[in-house]
Amino acid sequence: MPLLQGKTGIVFGVANKRSIAWAIAQALSREGMRLAFTYQGERLKANVEELCAAMPDSLILPCDVTSDAEIDAVFKEVGDKFGGLDALVHSVAFAPREDLENDFVNTSREGFKTAHDISAYSLVGLTRAALPLFEKSGSGAVLALTYYGAEKAVEGYNLMGVAKASLEATIRYLAANLGPKNIRVNAISAGPVNTLAARGIKGFTGMLKHHAERAPLRRNVELEEIANAALFLISSMSAGITGEVLFVDGGYNIIGL
């Protein structure tokens, strides 16, 4: 029997076929999970619909994570169609381009607020809205995506690194808060992969090359490897794990000089 047969989940952050969120969705669907997807704006709607066309019984809904009303509408629809919910995948992040490219000391106040709202607070808002559906299912698994720039200053990552640090702290506090309800909250810190979002980082090509040269495995990670780690953290195989950040980066994070 597939590992997630009879389970349901929702995935935020699919943009195209190279998205980490899409790789994770494919792994979850392969193991039997019925999925809902969200998109922001008409520009991404067609991409998500095309990708999900072959996925059985999927649900596709609009959602701007800065809008509590849209978040509530999404989870009402998911509740009506799915009944309960077993998993939530958060692969959402944004910072204004100028605040990524400028020296960090020149980060704008508005950019700082925007990056934290979309990249970190959204996990709180989405998890809160999912809570009644998790409770109906008797448990829940929340998974977010982060990066090593949350722990160390990575050239070019700037404001996004600070927002990801906030996200990682959010994960720990949510895990502590929701553990008594049998809801687990974890994250994957993936090595650099060539996604639409990553291409917005100044010097990203050099980052890929450096990572492949320095990581113990001497290569960059594949989307499938990240997706399989996500499957582990969402499934019952990781039932005793919460509040953790799992590195899937070829070992890069263990290296000093």
Instruction: Give per-residue pLDDT as tens, 183-194.
Output: 999 999 999 887
Give the contacts of 114 (CB within 8 A, at least 6 positions apart): 94, 95, 96
pLDDT category of residue 55 using cuts at 50, 70 and 90: confident
State the chain's mean pLDDT as an integer: 94
Q: Is domain 8-203+218-251 annotated with CATH 2.40.70.10?
A: no
> What is the distance between the alpha carbons of residues 163 and 60, in angstroms, rounded to a whole number?
27
Q: Which three-class secondary structure string do you get for the chain?
A: CCCCCCCEEEEECCCCCCCHHHHHHHHHHHCCCEEEEEECCHHHHHHHHHHHCCCCCCEEEECCCCCHHHHHHHHHHHHHHHCCCCEEEECCCCCCHHHHHCCHHHCCHHHHHHHHHHHHHHHHHHHHHHHHHHHHHCCEEEEEEECHHHCCCCCCCHHHHHHHHHHHHHHHHHHHHHHHHCEEEEEEEECCCCCCCHHHCCCHHHHHHHHHHHCCCCCCCCHHHHHHHHHHHHCHHHCCCCCCEEEECCCHHHCCC
Flag whether pLDDT at 195 surpasses 90.
Answer: no
pLDDT category of residue 200 using cuts at 50, 70 and 90: low
- The answer to whether the CB of 63 falls within 8 A of the CB of 13 is no
Flag whether pLDDT at 28 surpasses 70.
Answer: yes
pLDDT at 60: 96
Residues in the chain: 257
pLDDT category of residue 41 using cuts at 50, 70 and 90: confident
pLDDT at 119: 98
Find the angle CA(150)-CA(153)-CA(156) to the nearest 5 degrees.
100
- The answer to whether the CB of 156 falls within 8 A of the CB of 95 is no
User: Residue 71: which of 36, 22, 42 has the closest Cα?
Assistant: 36
Amino acid 42 reads E
Flag whether pLDDT at 132 surpasses 80.
Answer: yes
Give the contacts of 54 (CB within 8 A, at least 6 positions apart): none
Flag whether pLDDT at 201 surpasses 70.
Answer: no
Q: At residue 140, what are phi and psi to the nearest 5 degrees?
A: -160, 155
pLDDT digits (tens, 9 = 90+) for 69-118: 999 999 999 999 999 999 999 999 999 999 988 999 999 999 999 999 99
DSSP-derived letter for residue 21 is H
pLDDT category of residue 196 using cuts at 50, 70 and 90: low
Residue the block writes with tokens 């020296």: 103
Give the residue extent of every domain in the chain: 8-203+218-251
Please tell me the number of Cα atoms within 13 Å of 82 on its side-chain side.
30
Flag whether pLDDT at 202 surpasses 90.
Answer: no
Report, as an integer, the average pLDDT of 225-234: 98
Flag whether pLDDT at 246 surpasses 70.
Answer: yes
The residues annotated with a catalytic role in the active site are: 147, 157
Tokens of 133: 């559906």
